[in-house]
Structure 1
Amino acid sequence: MASAAVTPGAALAGVDQMMQRSDNRGVAANERLTAMAGAVLLVVFVVELATVSDLGTLLSAHVFVGVLMAGPLAVKLGSTGWRFVRYYTGNPAFVLQGPPPLPLRLLAPLVVASTLAVVGSGIALVFTGPASPGPFVALHVISFLVWMPAIAIHVIGHFLEVPRLIAKDLRRGAPEPAPGRRLRPGVTLGMLAAGAIAALLLSPAAAPWIAWIDAGRAPGSAFFVVGLGLAAGGILVARLFRWW
């Protein structure tokens, strides 16, 4: 039985469809990796905030968790950065997916900058010690106060989306498979483990700060309370203006 001839145009169309399906699955994989890293980061952020409430007692934990979060943060920044590059370079699948809502898109640079500033300045303080902290104490406090409302709005804006995306990966026989289903947890947890190793290695360097705290110089919780107020205010403003 003779088979139907395949024209060059039909062959090219078939290749194009295959590439489009591959790109679409890549978008889904990127989206789910971002969600998974974001969920891990949220847990770490909450633990870190708990330590801020009483640095006089929990400084060691504060330093450990602060360094630890650098691991999953790298995954989150990498996945969102990839989406940014692919979207603005005109990849059809990422363009079709579209960007986040405009308010969250405009907020994103502030979220990234303040997160990097608060984590980076905190790690820098571990190395400088209390004797010569330079500008890093002020940078750490100011970036924290900026970060609190920014991250609160960011989290609320994606709060319902993240569990749905993670569930698609965890559910057996998921109707929307995306490549790297087993790799995503490995990458996220692997970077979390790398952050934990870095935290273990750097924790002894925080000894001068612990001695400084033990000498009765523990900072008050006023800036923590202010940060919570700014976060609540940010969420309220975002809600009033319907940013999500």
Structure 2
Amino acid sequence: MVSPFQNESFEVKRARMVRTQLEERGIHDRRVLDAMQQVPRHEFVPEPLRGDAYEDHPLPIGAGQTISQPYIVAVMLQHVALQSSDRVLEVGTGSGYVTALLSQMCAEVYSIERHRKLAATAEETLARLGYSNVKIRVGDGGQGWPEYAPFDAIVVSAATSEMPPALFAQLREGGRMMVPVGPPTSQQLELIRKINGQAEVQVLEGCRFVPLVEGKAASD
């Protein structure tokens, strides 16, 4: 079915996305809304799918991966309560869209992607659009990036069966980690805070993400 908004400009579609998919569904953090208003999501999806870039559903980006639904991205960013001074680790660069949002909202972003081609494409897109406070590496996201730890916040864009211990170890005291937990048919977003070295878990809402896979991808 063709969207009735197909012929709108990307700017108009983006404004409508923020209003109808985010604000009207309870997203109220002004910094999240402003970032999602400013970052051009269509630049992070394959050209044939750009007309659907501002619809409220995930889109394929290659290598069996997706760019997540805008609403669920906003939920994650709102609950992790990012500050402008934060150093953030992102697990699962994917297209680089969430990386760009984090770049807008935080001081430093360190992002890990297991697929070399996705990492290269995301890096090129982010550089072209001027997001300069980002470092990307190809590697095993579940192992984090210990050379740059500790992090104020960690955002995991793939589902795990349980909280990844290596990532929790790289979270500073008082830091927050957002991670989808559970099998493909029954995942939920969890906000994990590090309090006195222990994990304080808040279960948020249901979600669906691709699984977090160990190691680098064998080939792309």
Q: TM-score range by the shorter chain?
A: under 0.3
Under a length normalisation based on structure 1, what TM-score does the superposition of the two structures give? Answer: 0.23
Under a length normalisation based on structure 2, what TM-score does the superposition of the two structures give? Answer: 0.25
**More relative contact order, 1 or 2 (CA 8 Å, 6+ apart):** 1
- The structure where helix makes up a greater share of residues is 1
